[in-house]
Amino acid sequence: MRNTFGRVFAITTFGESHGKGLGVIIDGCPAGVEIDEDFIRSEMQRRKPGQSKITTQRKEEDEFQILSGVFEGKSTGTPISIVILNTDQKSKDYSHIADKFRPSHADYTYHHKFGVRDYRGGGRSSARETAARVAAGAVAKLMLRSFGVTVQAYVSQAGPIKLEKHYSELDLTLTERNIVRCPDPELAEKMIAYIDEIRKDRDTVGGVVSCVAAGVPPGLGEPVFDRLHAALGHAMLSINAVKGFEYGSGFEGVQMRGSEHNDAFYKEGDRIRTRTNHSGGIQGGISNGEDIYFRVAFKPVATIMQDQESVNEAGESTVVSGKGRHDPCVVPRAVPIVEAMCALVLADFLLLNRLSKL
Amino acid sequence: MRNTFGRVFAITTFGESHGKGLGVIIDGCPAGVEIDEDFIRSEMQRRKPGQSKITTQRKEEDEFQILSGVFEGKSTGTPISIVILNTDQKSKDYSHIADKFRPSHADYTYHHKFGVRDYRGGGRSSARETAARVAAGAVAKLMLRSFGVTVQAYVSQAGPIKLEKHYSELDLTLTERNIVRCPDPELAEKMIAYIDEIRKDRDTVGGVVSCVAAGVPPGLGEPVFDRLHAALGHAMLSINAVKGFEYGSGFEGVQMRGSEHNDAFYKEGDRIRTRTNHSGGIQGGISNGEDIYFRVAFKPVATIMQDQESVNEAGESTVVSGKGRHDPCVVPRAVPIVEAMCALVLADFLLLNRLSKL
Amino acid sequence: MRNTFGRVFAITTFGESHGKGLGVIIDGCPAGVEIDEDFIRSEMQRRKPGQSKITTQRKEEDEFQILSGVFEGKSTGTPISIVILNTDQKSKDYSHIADKFRPSHADYTYHHKFGVRDYRGGGRSSARETAARVAAGAVAKLMLRSFGVTVQAYVSQAGPIKLEKHYSELDLTLTERNIVRCPDPELAEKMIAYIDEIRKDRDTVGGVVSCVAAGVPPGLGEPVFDRLHAALGHAMLSINAVKGFEYGSGFEGVQMRGSEHNDAFYKEGDRIRTRTNHSGGIQGGISNGEDIYFRVAFKPVATIMQDQESVNEAGESTVVSGKGRHDPCVVPRAVPIVEAMCALVLADFLLLNRLSKL
Amino acid sequence: MRNTFGRVFAITTFGESHGKGLGVIIDGCPAGVEIDEDFIRSEMQRRKPGQSKITTQRKEEDEFQILSGVFEGKSTGTPISIVILNTDQKSKDYSHIADKFRPSHADYTYHHKFGVRDYRGGGRSSARETAARVAAGAVAKLMLRSFGVTVQAYVSQAGPIKLEKHYSELDLTLTERNIVRCPDPELAEKMIAYIDEIRKDRDTVGGVVSCVAAGVPPGLGEPVFDRLHAALGHAMLSINAVKGFEYGSGFEGVQMRGSEHNDAFYKEGDRIRTRTNHSGGIQGGISNGEDIYFRVAFKPVATIMQDQESVNEAGESTVVSGKGRHDPCVVPRAVPIVEAMCALVLADFLLLNRLSKL
């Protein structure tokens, strides 16, 4: 198990879906960051279940407590611990899946790897773990504020419905105005209708979250292995249900010629800038001062309200039946998670860059 | 700078394109691995420049020496160091680019981050660094042999020419039979012709490398942050020119419904298997025993034989002119690099998995 | 800040003396360890304040909760989180020291390093943090049980009163029979009387804790930098108030000649053993199967009930007056802390050693 | 194996005593450090064998090459690799010890751990590995220069002959004036005579190296686990033959009372200082601006020119006979090694401290 992410602004998450609680330790947040608990709470609201008709109807209050690392409203440089108690851990009946492997879930692989697993609600493999990431990401965002760095994600695809516009053509302040978190209001309506239909079919569908980080200074990234985009990719691929990551021109860019793809340099006032930004703000693994942008693919949620073929721990054929309340499409609630992980990476690399020169 | 990759089978690479030498330290290779120098040499041959008309015509012999960690043909558990001296470091004239920032290269970002850079051939940011990775990856492959794990990559797209077939429909033994390393002989011819044309245009183009790992036992992966695919993504995105990574159903899979996408479990003899493999052999971040497969997007090579707008260190407008011998398309030579990084990740996680249970 | 210890059996502690709570995350405990909460509780009782007349009279109940990582009494391979809420954080008056630097405490250095500090009870620098280590160490001991490894520490010196006997001449089962935790009952009485006298003088004194690990298999240790004794030394020197560490023949051994000091090998049944054990069970940084033993020096507690010269944050001369309830000598309560850190190191290295051979 | 030391100024050493070569990669040296090769060479001269009649008469030239990371005389922020080829690896006859375990050497433990070992000259466990550390330490010293930090070690005990004076009473510029590296000229003579006598007895003896770091700014140290002295202790205990470490008042200090031991604060000009320095310049694990000082115990060298009882790989009784040229006492040559490891720790923590505050 490897539950720590980050080299100097490092988080360690813990907790199972239906255990007593979960949370995160942030070790390496510098002293002096204003810790605005209301902001953390508002970020967690964006992720929590039960927000709208297109998310799961489960209720989780996600009340958190900061146990350490903050004194008189500011970080002290010591570990910040944030704990979320699972108030609602009533002993639901899990006997119907306790010894079955749900298809495309982590049941079989955890069982094989550890010989034991907490089967309640997916245990450690549940996306509930991301609540801790969002809390930590909110702290990272509070630190990034001091540097003028902002991170904004949005839904750019839900199933086959795809936002073709480039982020620079969008008004990202509209993202939070609709329940699917797509900044194009018209397309948002279509996505909502589509997801709702999927939900009624007792099925699920995938989607794509796009993310833009602005105000990132040049110099962030630690080649050759911790190129900035490699760390961002690692962060995104560590989120439940993610199947792909691309930045800048991404997979589409492979068809371009170098002469179109290269970003010409020019001087704008004091800044060295590029005329295009196929590089996605990262060159040689290091930020160049332009906007960083990337896309993250999420698979359809594995829990469906249908019967599925499977086997149990004894290796016998069985059927897994859908039960409970689940998301028909994960991307609306994934938006704050993608932002959180992006903010954590940028906070880490902002600090690391202080070590580059004598 | 972060030049170490891997947690227990860890490599550290060093060296610049035109310095005295480069190489790699492998720390954590278990004792008892047969170190077949001929195999390492043959892997390095696959990467080296000057192989064919569609790669750079530069000559680099890549003769290596193992300085430590091997005794009587076997690894001893101590660090294996492999050094490649740059025999041909004749003082070429770099004055035409010494103070200019080549578009979409790492010149500007390194200069900004470190205040100083070795401008000869790109210095540390040169893809020459991957020679060290291929050497280390060959050692990882030698270890994987003992576990029956194989790793095979191939070119699945060059510019717009795309291999639509699934890897399971291909005969991967054909990959090395043509200079573009595409296992579909007909398409290979088209790719070669296309790349050659691009080369004549003094331009470059991108491509995609696909990779399959077979024989991987269930249990590899260290959630929540070091999910197996997150480590693979990190590894791939750390390779020069990579812009995207997807595994299993990837970006395409987002359009699928959960009911199609889920991989039903069944029993085949003693093994628990899945009827489909949209999961790409990884569930919950842990291998499930099916084939692991993924795709890696490479951008068009930044060095083109054309004049480009840029600025110099003083911030003045300037023109960068193409010179020298470079690859029109990087993917044929990227195949062994992708395999090497994949093998390194698998070796690392095979060892880590020994720690899962009491 | 660096609040993580261990490479694969890794702990991260958090929490301040007078904040809302403190605790520890254990990441890397293998699945299948029986987690006996009563045992953890009994270990914490050995450390807690208010045990006897020669320890501080402060009351701290140290009630802990395991929030995650354990299912049906066994570790699951996911992070084990243990939280201790500070029930008694009544707003004591700290105004008398809030801006003063207590001599030989961490007040000045934390203030300088972070620009801010939680001055209540020493904040993060308080020895209260070791409660979390003892909890984690108890889990490590539970794992070590399965391997037949035991760890026993005892007080071998309190101020000038020194136990001259070698550990092999002592009956270590007597250690817990007296309040100073010295296995020599007569000397224990002397130590107790001495410490009580020091306490009445409103002063403090230092001491030495010795520790023996038995049943450690050969092969533990990761040279060249993570020699077993280097990790043990690091662990011990990370405990509050520790000033020195020696193992085997230690500082005394420097006067010996090689011909006396060398431990001759012989065969005893199936085992290769040494006739003497000046090596302290460790050769070349790796355990050799003999008992591991070492000694840890603790300075006199810095908090004394006397007036002391100092300066305040403004740099003005001031006087710090002793107040509150503190230990006259730290070693009796340090015994379980030394054991805990030793157990954590051994658990880590037992796992790491699984990676040595193919 | 764990061959990397340091968190951000990190070194990885490699190489065996009688392999093709050894060396070190420094990853994390900031850009802009002037790399004075003559200084590195002079440091290596201080460690190399054959310096005087009281060191081994073996000849090793220790000619090194810097392969990367330096451009136009300065570090570039990329990995600095230093390689020392073993020019004199003539195939000596090792058959007399190839399958025998030399007492108090690492032969048995390496054999047990790895199942294989390079028995030539101790292989990886040879103190020859420290040549790489001295080279890296020289680079760390060059960086420390810019911060006004100096590190000076000296021999304070050889066998029973002990320098009782405190470092502040000594003229440390005299250290290098005699072959035993003791700054007290009279005592140096006695030590030399004593060691020479031991040598004639075909025996060996231990000793103590003391070390002082001056000019260290306040704020260095990363509690709770990477307290500055814990990292120094780890560093020292990772050196071959070290059996103990103490700093400040050390083991002697345990007998003191808190009222004597505490270091009162006062103001001297702009600086906050302490009237005494029992803390050894470190409080709460963080430097306070006073001199840092510590002592390191070295055991008698295990190789003696006498017959010793042992067993071989087959578990049969055997006799190991002394042969070859070895040091009668390791401390004179250990002085630059202690300094190197101290400099590496300080360089690492100077950089880490840049991360403490917003």
Q: For C291-308, what is each residue's pLDDT tens digit?
A: 999 999 999 999 999 999
Q: Which residues on C lie below 8 Å from A23 (Cβ)? A: 67, 81
pLDDT digits (tens, 9 = 90+) for D248-279: 999 999 999 999 999 999 999 999 999 999 99
Establish if D207 touches chain B: CB-CB under 8 angstroms.
Answer: no
Whole-number mean pLDDT of chain C?
Answer: 95
Residue B95 pLDDT level (bands cut at 50, 70, 90): confident
Question: How would you classify residue B6: left for phi > 0, otherwise alpha for psi between -120 and 50, otherwise beta?
Answer: left
Whole-number mean pLDDT of chain A?
Answer: 95
Residue A132 pLDDT level (bands cut at 50, 70, 90): very high
pLDDT digits (tens, 9 = 90+) for D23-48: 999 999 999 999 999 999 999 999 98
Q: What is the pLDDT of residue B91?
A: 59
Residue C59 pLDDT level (bands cut at 50, 70, 90): confident
pLDDT digits (tens, 9 = 90+) for B202-219: 999 999 999 999 999 999
Query: What does the DSSP assignment read for C283-320?
Result: ETTEE-SSPEEEEEEEPPPS--SS-EEEEBTTS-EEEE
Establish if D77 touches chain A: CB-CB under 8 angstroms.
Answer: yes
Residue D90 pLDDT level (bands cut at 50, 70, 90): low
A165 is in an annotated binding site: no
Q: Does residue A44 have a pLDDT over 90? A: yes
Q: Do C32 and B354 touch (CB under 8 A)?
A: no
Establish if C113 touches chain A: CB-CB under 8 angstroms.
Answer: yes
Q: Do A66 and C20 touch (CB under 8 A)?
A: yes
Establish if C123 touches chain A: CB-CB under 8 angstroms.
Answer: yes
Residue D342 pLDDT level (bands cut at 50, 70, 90): very high
Q: What is the pLDDT of residue A94?
A: 79
H runs (alpha helix) in chain D: 37-47, 107-114, 130-145, 185-200, 228-237, 258-261, 331-352
Q: What is the pLDDT of residue B57?
A: 75
Domain CATH code at residue A322: 3.60.150.10
Tell me the two tokens of residue B356.
């899962």
Q: What is the pLDDT of residue D57?
A: 75
Q: Does residue B143 have a pLDDT over 80? A: yes
pLDDT digits (tens, 9 = 90+) for D120-161: 989 999 999 999 999 999 999 999 999 999 999 999 999 999
Establish if C264 touches chain B: CB-CB under 8 angstroms.
Answer: no
Query: What backbone phi and psi angles, to 5 degrees, belong to D7?
Result: -100, -45
- Report the alpha-carbon distance of residue C58 to residue C47 in Å, rounded: 12
In chain B, the percentage of residues whose pLDDT exceeds 90 is 89
D3 vs B15, B67, B79: nearest CB? B79
Whole-number mean pLDDT of chain D?
Answer: 95
H runs (alpha helix) in chain B: 37-47, 107-114, 130-145, 185-200, 228-237, 258-261, 331-352
Q: What is the pLDDT of residue B322?
A: 81
- Report the alpha-carbon distance of residue D294 to residue D282 in Å, rounded: 11
Q: Which residues on B lie below 8 Å from C76 (Cβ)? A: none
What is the average pLDDT across A186-215? 97
Q: Which residues on C lie below 8 Å from D106 (Cβ)? A: 223, 283-286
Q: What is the pLDDT of residue B87?
A: 80
SS3 at position D141: helix
- Report the alpha-carbon distance of residue D14 to residue C277 in Å, rounded: 30
Q: Does residue C342 have a pLDDT over 70? A: yes
pLDDT digits (tens, 9 = 90+) for C201-236: 999 999 999 999 999 999 999 999 999 999 999 999
Establish if C356 touches chain B: CB-CB under 8 angstroms.
Answer: yes
Encode burial over C282-307: b for 16+ CB neighbours within 10 A, e otherwise: bbbbbbbbbbbbbbbbbbbbbbbbee
What is the average pLDDT across A209-234? 98
Residue A96 pLDDT level (bands cut at 50, 70, 90): confident
pLDDT digits (tens, 9 = 90+) for B300-353: 999 999 999 999 999 999 999 887 778 999 999 999 999 999 999 999 999 999
Q: Provide the number of structural domains found in chain C.
A: 1
Q: What pairs with residue A207 in β-bridges?
A: A158, A298
Position with higher pLDDT, A319 vs C322: A319
In chain A, the percentage of residues whose pLDDT exceeds 70 is 98
What is the average pLDDT across A244-250? 98
In chain A, the percentage of residues whose pLDDT exceeds 90 is 89
What is the average pLDDT across B21-43? 98
Residue A98 pLDDT level (bands cut at 50, 70, 90): confident
Q: Does residue C189 have a pLDDT over 80? A: yes
- Chain C nearest CA to B225, separation (Å): 12
For chain B, helix, strand, coil in percent to 5 are 30, 25, 40
The DSSP element (H or E) to which C38 belongs, if any, is helix C37-47
- Chain A, 284 to 343: residues with Cβ < 8 Å from chain B are 284-288, 297-304, 306, 308-311, 315-317
What is the average pLDDT across B63-85? 97
Boundaries of domain holding A169: 4-355
Q: C334 and C239 in contact (C-beta within 8 Å)?
A: yes
Q: What is the pLDDT of residue C137?
A: 98
Whole-number mean pLDDT of chain B?
Answer: 95
Q: Does residue A174 have a pLDDT over 70? A: yes
Establish if B209 touches chain A: CB-CB under 8 angstroms.
Answer: no
What is the average pLDDT across C242-258? 98
Q: Does residue B58 have a pLDDT over 90? A: no
Residue B241 pLDDT level (bands cut at 50, 70, 90): very high
CB-CB neighbours of D288 under 10 Å: 30
Q: CB under 8 Å to C28, separation ≥6 — which residues? A: A1, B355, C6, C8, C9, C10, C348, C351
- Report the alpha-carbon distance of residue B215 to residue B114 in Å, rounded: 43
Q: What is the pLDDT of residue A1?
A: 65
B109 vs A233, A283, A317: nearest CB? A283
Q: Does residue B88 have a pLDDT over 80? A: no
B116 vs D23, D74, D113: nearest CB? D74
Query: What does the DSSP assignment read for D151-215?
Result: EEEEEEEETTEE--S-GGGS-GGGGGGSTT--SSHHHHHHHHHHHHHHHHTT--B-EEEEEEEES
pLDDT digits (tens, 9 = 90+) for B102-114: 999 999 999 999 9
Q: What is the pLDDT of residue D96?
A: 78
Q: Does residue C1 have a pLDDT over 70? A: no
Q: What is the pLDDT of residue C325?
A: 75
pLDDT digits (tens, 9 = 90+) for D193-241: 999 999 999 999 999 999 999 999 999 999 999 999 999 999 999 999 9
Q: CB under 8 Å to A270, separation ≥6 — which residues? A: none
C258 vs D160, D304, D311: nearest CB? D304
Q: What is the pLDDT of residue C95?
A: 78
Residue C357 pLDDT level (bands cut at 50, 70, 90): very high
Residue B51 pLDDT level (bands cut at 50, 70, 90): confident
Q: Which residues on A lie below 8 Å from C21 (Cβ)? A: 67-68, 81, 83
Q: What is the pLDDT of residue D91?
A: 59
Q: Do B284 and A237 touch (CB under 8 A)?
A: no
What is the average pLDDT across B54-70? 87
